[in-house]
Amino acid sequence: MKTMLITGGSGFIGSNFVHLILEKHSEYSVINLDALTYAGNNDNHHATINNPNYTFIHGDICDRELVQKLFVQYDFSSVVHFAAESHVDRSITGPEQFVLTNVLGTQILLQAAKNHWAGKTDKRFVHVSTDEVYGSLGPEGYFSEQTPLAPNSPYSASKAGSDLLVRSYFETFAFPAIITRCSNNYGSFQFPEKLIPLMITNALRDIPLPVYGDGMNVRDWLFVKDHCSAIATVLHKGTPGKVYNIGGNNEWHNIDIVKHILAELGKPESLITYVKDRLGHDRRYAIDASFIKSELGWSPSVTFEQGIRQTIQWYLDNRWWWEKLLDKQ
């Protein structure tokens, strides 16, 4: 059995990826390394905690000694790196932690893997990044893998920095790294500060739904389970040194998302409250995901209407999960 290190496996996307690997790839034993910051939640694994192929380790990717020890102990065949500070608003008020975790933490992982994998083949390091590293689009066009990096927030700048470190390890050391960049994710286990879960949970409690600016910012939305299937495809079929954009081919204005959620829940649009726009708020993101489709045969399987309905139902069925988080805020 091969052993996979998943960093940040108790976060939103990471936990969904852990579930996918345990359900569909029984050839792997999974080690989940997570610091359990505010967005990491071991309740995400209440259904898998007793799986013999799953091990949780509470630790920080910035802990060099721990990371090196884990590589020696488990002899990882692959690393899928999700661990990151990821909320733009928090990066504006406290950017230092984003640089420490996203840049330094990534470098510590890269160096440990490089040292331990020296002379070995069939290893893979998948670095999970974001389309936000490309900056903001105008009303036309799409981000491709060749789009120059132009991050506009401390969060996206820290992710761009980690992307460049990963690229440098491939170029300098022929390190077996692959980068994925995804559009906005939504689905189960998403911390209720992000747009879709915030709107769902506020609507369910009949409290105001805050919308930045005029609500006309555009995002390409990707169902988290589709994203995880794409990462698994890249892990098993991708080419080291390549970047793969992962998108949902699914652009929505923020305000239309909010109104759609309210309609699905039977709640009035009078709950919408417009608030002052966020600093450095990129106007539009949209991913060109044609490369991963042509090279690896992946494309999204869920429409937004299907995915948002599943997501709303999950938050309806799992109030115990998100109400505890709101009580801590």
- pLDDT tens digits for range 45-100: 998 988 999 999 999 999 999 999 999 999 999 999 999 987 777 888 888 889 99
CATH number reported for the structural domain that contains residue 134 in this entry: 3.40.50.720
Each residue's pLDDT tens digit, 175-229: 999 999 999 999 999 998 889 999 999 999 999 999 999 999 999 999 999 999 9
Q: Using CA atoms, how far apart are residues 5 and 82, in angstroms rounded to an integer?
A: 10
Domain total of the chain:
1
pLDDT of residue 137: 87
Q: pLDDT tier at 18 (50, 70, 90 boundaries)?
A: very high
Pairwise pLDDT comparison (328 vs 25), residue with the higher score: 25
6 in a domain, yes or no? yes
Domain with 67, as residue range(s), is 2-190+221-249+281-302
Residue 327, in any domain of the structure: no
Spell out the residues 6+ positions from residue 155 whose beta carbon is closer than 8 angstroms to its own. Answer: 85, 86, 87, 88, 90, 91, 98, 102, 132
Residue 307 lies in a domain: no
Q: How confident is the model at residue 272 (pLDDT cuts 50, 70, 90)?
A: very high
- Mean pLDDT of the region 3-26: 97
Does residue 311 lie in a domain region? no
Tell me whether residue 289 is in a domain: yes
- On whether residue 204 sits in a domain, the answer given is no
Mean pLDDT of the chain: 94
Active-site residue numbers? 131-132, 155
12 inside domain: yes
Residue 81 domain-assigned? yes
* Beta strands, E only, 143-286: 177-182, 184-186, 209-212, 218-223, 243-246, 251-253, 272-275
